[in-house]
Amino acid sequence: MEIFRFWHDPRFDARASENGFGVVEVVISIFLLSLLSISFIPLLVNSIKSTGKNTTIATATQIVNQEIEGARAVRSPTSTTPSCLDVTNFLNVTIATVTDPRGVTLLPKWDATTCPTSYPGVVRARVSVTRSGSTNVVAQAVTLIYVASAT
Protein backbone atom coordinates (compact mmCIF):
# COMPACT_ATOMS: atom_id res chain seq x y z
CA MET A 1 0.00 0.00 0.00
CA GLU A 2 2.88 2.33 0.72
CA ILE A 3 4.30 1.88 -2.79
CA PHE A 4 0.96 2.72 -4.34
CA ARG A 5 0.84 6.09 -2.54
CA PHE A 6 4.40 6.86 -3.67
CA TRP A 7 3.48 6.67 -7.35
CA HIS A 8 0.35 8.81 -7.04
CA ASP A 9 1.74 11.42 -4.68
CA PRO A 10 2.14 14.70 -6.68
CA ARG A 11 5.30 15.51 -4.75
CA PHE A 12 6.97 12.53 -6.37
CA ASP A 13 5.38 12.87 -9.81
CA ALA A 14 8.01 13.51 -12.52
CA ARG A 15 5.66 15.75 -14.55
CA ALA A 16 4.96 18.04 -11.62
CA SER A 17 8.64 18.77 -11.16
CA GLU A 18 9.05 20.28 -14.70
CA ASN A 19 8.08 23.87 -13.87
CA GLY A 20 8.72 26.87 -16.19
CA PHE A 21 9.48 27.15 -19.91
CA GLY A 22 12.00 25.12 -21.77
CA VAL A 23 14.30 26.28 -24.56
CA VAL A 24 12.03 24.81 -27.24
CA GLU A 25 9.00 26.74 -25.98
CA VAL A 26 10.98 30.00 -25.87
CA VAL A 27 12.28 29.52 -29.44
CA ILE A 28 8.79 28.74 -30.75
CA SER A 29 7.28 31.80 -29.03
CA ILE A 30 10.03 34.06 -30.46
CA PHE A 31 9.38 32.62 -33.92
CA LEU A 32 5.64 33.26 -33.65
CA LEU A 33 6.17 36.80 -32.40
CA SER A 34 8.55 37.52 -35.27
CA LEU A 35 5.97 36.27 -37.80
CA LEU A 36 3.36 38.57 -36.29
CA SER A 37 5.68 41.58 -36.30
CA ILE A 38 6.73 40.97 -39.92
CA SER A 39 3.09 40.92 -40.98
CA PHE A 40 2.57 44.42 -39.48
CA ILE A 41 5.54 46.08 -41.25
CA PRO A 42 3.66 46.80 -44.54
CA LEU A 43 0.80 48.28 -42.56
CA LEU A 44 3.16 50.63 -40.72
CA VAL A 45 4.93 51.70 -43.91
CA ASN A 46 1.63 52.47 -45.68
CA SER A 47 0.32 54.42 -42.71
CA ILE A 48 3.47 56.57 -42.62
CA LYS A 49 3.11 57.32 -46.35
CA SER A 50 -0.58 58.16 -45.95
CA THR A 51 0.15 60.45 -43.03
CA GLY A 52 2.67 62.38 -45.12
CA LYS A 53 0.25 62.81 -48.01
CA ASN A 54 -2.53 63.90 -45.67
CA THR A 55 -0.24 66.50 -44.09
CA THR A 56 0.46 68.04 -47.49
CA ILE A 57 -3.22 67.99 -48.48
CA ALA A 58 -4.26 69.56 -45.17
CA THR A 59 -1.70 72.35 -45.56
CA ALA A 60 -2.79 73.00 -49.16
CA THR A 61 -6.45 73.12 -48.12
CA GLN A 62 -5.63 75.59 -45.37
CA ILE A 63 -3.83 77.83 -47.90
CA VAL A 64 -6.85 77.71 -50.24
CA ASN A 65 -9.21 78.66 -47.41
CA GLN A 66 -7.01 81.56 -46.31
CA GLU A 67 -6.77 82.92 -49.84
CA ILE A 68 -10.52 82.72 -50.40
CA GLU A 69 -11.22 84.50 -47.13
CA GLY A 70 -8.69 87.18 -48.08
CA ALA A 71 -10.32 87.70 -51.48
CA ARG A 72 -13.77 87.99 -49.93
CA ALA A 73 -12.54 90.57 -47.42
CA VAL A 74 -10.96 92.91 -50.00
CA ARG A 75 -12.22 96.49 -49.75
CA SER A 76 -10.86 99.82 -50.87
CA PRO A 77 -10.27 102.29 -48.01
CA THR A 78 -13.19 104.47 -49.09
CA SER A 79 -15.76 101.74 -49.73
CA THR A 80 -17.79 99.31 -47.62
CA THR A 81 -18.38 96.90 -50.50
CA PRO A 82 -15.72 95.52 -52.83
CA SER A 83 -15.36 96.66 -56.40
CA CYS A 84 -14.25 94.51 -59.29
CA LEU A 85 -11.01 96.50 -59.47
CA ASP A 86 -10.29 95.74 -55.79
CA VAL A 87 -10.83 92.01 -56.32
CA THR A 88 -8.80 91.88 -59.55
CA ASN A 89 -5.90 93.74 -57.94
CA PHE A 90 -5.94 91.28 -55.04
CA LEU A 91 -6.00 88.28 -57.39
CA ASN A 92 -3.09 89.63 -59.47
CA VAL A 93 -0.71 89.73 -56.50
CA THR A 94 1.75 86.84 -56.54
CA ILE A 95 1.17 84.61 -53.53
CA ALA A 96 4.22 83.50 -51.55
CA THR A 97 5.14 79.82 -51.55
CA VAL A 98 4.47 77.80 -48.40
CA THR A 99 6.46 74.88 -47.02
CA ASP A 100 4.45 72.26 -45.14
CA PRO A 101 5.75 70.45 -42.00
CA ARG A 102 7.25 67.67 -44.16
CA GLY A 103 9.30 70.15 -46.19
CA VAL A 104 7.16 70.04 -49.36
CA THR A 105 6.99 73.43 -51.09
CA LEU A 106 3.47 74.41 -52.15
CA LEU A 107 2.70 77.03 -54.82
CA PRO A 108 -0.69 78.76 -54.56
CA LYS A 109 -2.04 80.77 -57.49
CA TRP A 110 -5.22 82.48 -58.63
CA ASP A 111 -6.67 81.88 -62.08
CA ALA A 112 -7.55 84.87 -64.25
CA THR A 113 -11.01 86.30 -63.74
CA THR A 114 -13.29 88.69 -65.56
CA CYS A 115 -15.53 91.42 -64.22
CA PRO A 116 -19.30 91.13 -64.63
CA THR A 117 -21.09 93.08 -67.36
CA SER A 118 -23.65 94.61 -64.98
CA TYR A 119 -23.45 95.74 -61.35
CA PRO A 120 -23.98 94.66 -58.67
CA GLY A 121 -22.63 91.29 -59.73
CA VAL A 122 -20.25 88.50 -58.84
CA VAL A 123 -16.69 87.70 -59.76
CA ARG A 124 -15.83 84.03 -60.12
CA ALA A 125 -12.39 83.31 -58.68
CA ARG A 126 -10.49 80.01 -58.58
CA VAL A 127 -7.45 79.34 -56.39
CA SER A 128 -5.33 76.22 -56.67
CA VAL A 129 -2.26 74.86 -54.89
CA THR A 130 0.36 72.67 -56.58
CA ARG A 131 3.58 71.09 -55.42
CA SER A 132 6.80 72.75 -56.47
CA GLY A 133 8.03 71.11 -59.68
CA SER A 134 4.68 69.48 -60.44
CA THR A 135 1.51 70.44 -62.27
CA ASN A 136 -0.75 68.17 -60.22
CA VAL A 137 -3.23 70.18 -58.16
CA VAL A 138 -3.15 69.27 -54.45
CA ALA A 139 -6.15 71.44 -53.47
CA GLN A 140 -8.39 73.93 -55.25
CA ALA A 141 -11.61 75.85 -54.75
CA VAL A 142 -13.87 78.23 -56.64
CA THR A 143 -15.70 81.12 -55.01
CA LEU A 144 -18.08 83.84 -56.10
CA ILE A 145 -17.28 87.29 -54.72
CA TYR A 146 -19.98 89.96 -54.62
CA VAL A 147 -18.91 93.26 -56.19
CA ALA A 148 -20.93 96.45 -56.11
CA SER A 149 -19.17 98.41 -58.86
CA ALA A 150 -16.43 98.28 -61.48
CA THR A 151 -14.07 100.69 -59.64
Could you list the residue range(s) of the whole structural domain that residue 38 is in? Answer: 2-147
- How many independent structural domains does the chain possess? 1
Nearest-CA neighbor of 125 among 138, 107, 140? 140
The per-type count for the chain, helices as H runs and strands as E runs, is 3, 4
Angle between helices 84-92 and 23-72 (to 10 degrees): 140
- Encode the chain (151 residues) as per-residue pLDDT tens digits: 555 555 555 555 555 556 667 888 889 999 999 999 898 999 999 999 999 899 999 999 999 999 999 998 988 888 888 899 999 999 999 999 999 888 999 999 999 888 999 999 999 999 999 999 999 999 999 999 999 999 8
CA 53 to CA 138: how far, in whole Å? 10
Sequence letter at residue 146: Y
